A and B are shown apart, each in its own frame.
Chain A
Amino acid sequence: MTVHNLYIFDRNGICLHYSEWNRKKQAGISKEEEFKLMYGMLFSIRSFVSKMSPVDMKDGFLSFQTSKYKLHYYETPTGLKVVMNTDLGVGNIRDVLHQIYSYLYVDYVVKNPLCNLNETIQSELFRNKLDTFVRGLPFFSARAG
């Protein structure tokens, strides 16, 4: 099991944070382009899913998987989106994504008056805490380094 990468988007589609741990393939486009493509895909999935659903939804889109990886999605009522790519063996990690939001983002970004809320997160403290948190996850394998 392994964690590939993590994106945090705000409600306007700005990528607030990106980090990667064990990514073997780059998208072949610049990072800005990749963030736009990723956000566009998630935005379309949200609208796709709300139209396709046969009954009213509560949480909406949770995750998708391909033959090689699984994308986990969590969105807060304020529109902040936490997206984590892992391998296929990882089950439901909604609580982990919620912890990234409530313990890391709220504690080290929202409560930091020097952090501007709608631009890329510059805080070194947030980066370090997030890195330690993700490396400590039970499904973050040691060999990933």
Chain B
Amino acid sequence: MASDPRANLKPLSLHVPEPKFRPGDVVDFADIEVPPAGAGRRPDVAEDAATFPELAYGLVRVLDGEARAVGPWDPRLSPDRLRRMLRAMALTRAYDERMFRAQRQGKTSFYMKSTGEEAVAVAAAFALDRDDMCFPSYRQQGLLIARDWDMVDMMNQVYSNRGDRLEGKQLPIMYSTKEGSFFSISGNLATQYPQAVGWAMASAAKGDTRIAATWTGEGSTAEGDFHSACTFASVYRAPVILNVVNNQWAISSFSGFAGAEATTFAARAIGYGIAGLRVDGNDALAVYAATSWAAERARTNAGPTLIEHFTYRTEGHSTSDDPTQYRSAGEPTAWPLGDPIGRLKDHLIQLGEWDEERQAAMDLDLAEKVRAAQKEAEKNGVLGHGLHQPLDTLFEGVYEEMPWHLREQQQMMLDEEEASGRPWARK
């Protein structure tokens, strides 16, 4: 009998990634490499994508341990602009807290916070023009807040009430505003990525000067849409900024399941021939600097940029999630890059342009503003308190004009409601 020629090999083994810390574990993030602030070079915006590997594996940071802005990426913003950015980030957090509580009070079915990731959206919005088109995921509410979008309008959407411009058709937080250059959010992950590239290609094809920016979490980079978007962006040198918000967690899956054990997300840009930057996502100045760099690159026809924002999802994935079931409760406080709001606040204090008293007063003022907006929004009703939209609007907007079969179903529904004696049918 012939012997098995492979008998002397060790059996194969399947590697299944495992996060470092599970519930109950003591957290020690010492192995996360945090390069010093100001260390990375700032290339010319026209530089060839092939020269970017060090930036794709490094970490662009501006604010150092003493909250000073250092190095070539320091965007040198005026204190006034810094204060406005700080305010928008704090307002985003206050809004999140209020809406999370509203969900717990049963006023809406669902909410998602962006706690700890405020800089990623807010600082980017400050670096973009108001009419640059944003294709966000569901965790960039800071874009709307930084663009001074009406908070009552946002709450109306969360409550699916009479004031909801989306007519109660969308799950809470799936905002949409063309006027705010904020594309309709979809529940389907990463679909916005090729759409943003297409929007940018259209802008270029028409000789426009506007650019597009899109965001996805690190988990969703595993979707095929991410690949097709990067390919299109590279092939047509689309004026687009591709943001990957690496907050370490995709619901209960740590970033290792999206490939983070082997490489960085910014490094994926290299293979596509796209400029890749890896940025401290809790450093508002680094996010601002990288975004304005990428915007200038896009606007000068030098091509797309992929920015990985290295950050941490401080809270649960959503109101339907309990993170203590899969990760250590010690993670958020142990996160080595700190809190984006605290770091920007400390920077302003260090500049002599801010103090703890003013911060406390601002927080109080913002909490009051959010509370007032909530009161205003709740005048339009909250979810579950009766019907806020006329029953027959359910059929509107499927097509530009309602085809016969929808008119027929609409009438059928109204007739059934009428026959049932329910008050809904009587508008």
Is this pair of chains taken from one and the same complex? no
